[in-house]
Amino acid sequence: MGKLSKSAAKFQRQKFGASKNVAKSSKSVEKRVAKDPADDRRDQSQGARAEDDGDTLYGIFKSPNIKNVQFGIDKCFPTWYGSTVYFDRRTMKLGIYHDTPSGVASPAKKKTELDTFWLDTLYVCEYCFKYTAERDPFLGHVKCCTFKHRSPGRIKYKSPEYTIRRVKGFKHQLFCQNLCLFTKLYLDNKSMYFKVEHYDFYILYQTGLHKPMAFFSKELISYSQNNLACILTFPPYQRKRLGSLLIEFSYKLSQADGIVSGPELPLSPFGLVGYLKYWSRVICWHMVNGVFADLDGATLEELSTVTGLRINDLITTLKYLQCVGPDNKIYLSVLRNWLTATENRSFKFQIEDEFLLVND
C-alpha cells in the first residue's frame, strides 16, 4: 500500500466516533453554544417549533442540517434527518450575526440556505464510514482504506449474489460507531451511537465486493429475545429487497438458536411497513402454498411454530390483511386474493439454507 499524503495520514489518525472524544467535545460544545448569541437564537427558534408541535424530545431536529452526503467517489445524495454529533461548532459559521472589527454585532441578514444547513457536503468512506468535511483528505483516505480489500467480520451467509458478515461491536468499535453515526442521517429514531460493544452488526455485501449495502444490528443480551434492533438499507441500494433479505436472515438466526423471535418494539413507521410486507408474504405463502395449504385452518400457535413469527406479530399482520372472521377463522380466499393483487403469488424466500454459515 502506497505512502499516505499528509492530509490522508491526518485523516487516518483521527479517531472519528470515539466515545470519549465525542463526550468531551459535547461538553465543550455546550459551553460554546451558551456564549454564542447566534446559536442561542437558532436553538430558541428550534425549541419554539418543538413546543408548537408538542414535541418535548431533546435534540430532535425538524429538518436535516447536512445537505448532502458524498458516499464514496461516485455516489452523492441528500440526508433525511439532522445530527449534531458530526460537528465541532467552533469552526462553523452558522449564525446570521457576524462580529464587526469594533466588536459590535452587525444587523441580522436575510435568512439563506446556509442558515438551514450547517454543512453542505459530508464526505463518508463507503468502506469504513470514516468521515470528514474536507474533500482532499477524503480522497486520500479512499485510496488506501484498509477495508477496501478486506471487509471486517466473519462470514455468516455467502451465496453467489450476496454475502452477510457479522461484525462484533466490541472488536470493531470504530467501524460500528461510524456506521451508527451515518445511520442517524437516515433513521429519525436512531439513538445508539457509541455503546456498540453490546451489539453484533450484520453487514450485507455483494459477493466479491467490499462495499456495504445494508445492515442490521442485534443486541447480544435481549431479555425480550429480539432478533433485530436497527435496520437500514443505504440510499443507493434501496428498492432491491435487501431489507427483506436481512429480515429473513434475522429469523434464520433465531431458528438456529431454537427460539421464536422478532424485532425490537416499537417499530418506526418505515420499519413497520417493511415488516408488515415481509410478515404478510410469509403468512400467505405458508397458508396457501406451504404446510397449511391442504388444511382447513391453523391455530396461532401452529402458525407461529412454522413461520417463526411471534404470536403478537401474527395478530398484527392478520389484522392488517383483514383475513380473520368473527369466529377467529383465517379466510384463505383473502390471502390468495392478496397474493394475486400484490403480485406475490410467485414469492420465493431469498435466503437459501445451503449458503448459511450461522453455526460456524
> In this structure, what are the phi and psi dihedrals at residue 21, rounded to the nearest 5 degrees?
-65, -40
E-strand ranges in the chain read: 66-71, 76-78, 119-124, 131-132, 154-158, 162-168, 199-206, 214-219, 226-228, 230-233, 262-263
Residue tagged active-site, from 30, 161, 197, 264: 264
Whether omega before 266 lies within 30 degrees of 0, making that bond cis, reads yes
CA distances (Å), origin 291, targets 184, 239, 260, 286 = 41, 30, 18, 6
What would the DSSP string read from start to end of 26-51?
A: HHHHHHHHHH-HHHHHHHHHHHHHHH
Backbone angles phi, psi at 157, to 5 degrees: -155, 130
Count CB-CB contacts under 10 A for residue 79: 21
Please answer whether residues 11 and 142 qualify as being in contact, where contact means their C-beta atoms are separated by less than 8 angstroms.
no
Instruction: Give the N- to C-terminal CA distance of the chain in Å, as an integer.
Output: 32
Is residue 328 classed as helix, strand or coil in its secondary structure? coil
If you write DSSP's letter for every residue of 59-111 in order, what string do you get?
T--SS-SEEEEEESSS-EEE-SS--STT--GGG----S--B-TTSPBPPPPPP
* Greatest extent of the chain over all pairs of C-alpha atoms, in Å: 86
Q: For residue 131, which of 42, 277, 15, 23 has the smallest C-alpha distance?
A: 15
Q: Output the CA–CA distances (angstroms, integers) from residue 302 to 12, 132, 286, in the order listed.
A: 54, 52, 11
Task: Mark whether 264 is an active-site residue.
Answer: yes
Q: Which three cell numbers stand for residue 296?
A: 382447513
Enzyme catalytic residues: 264
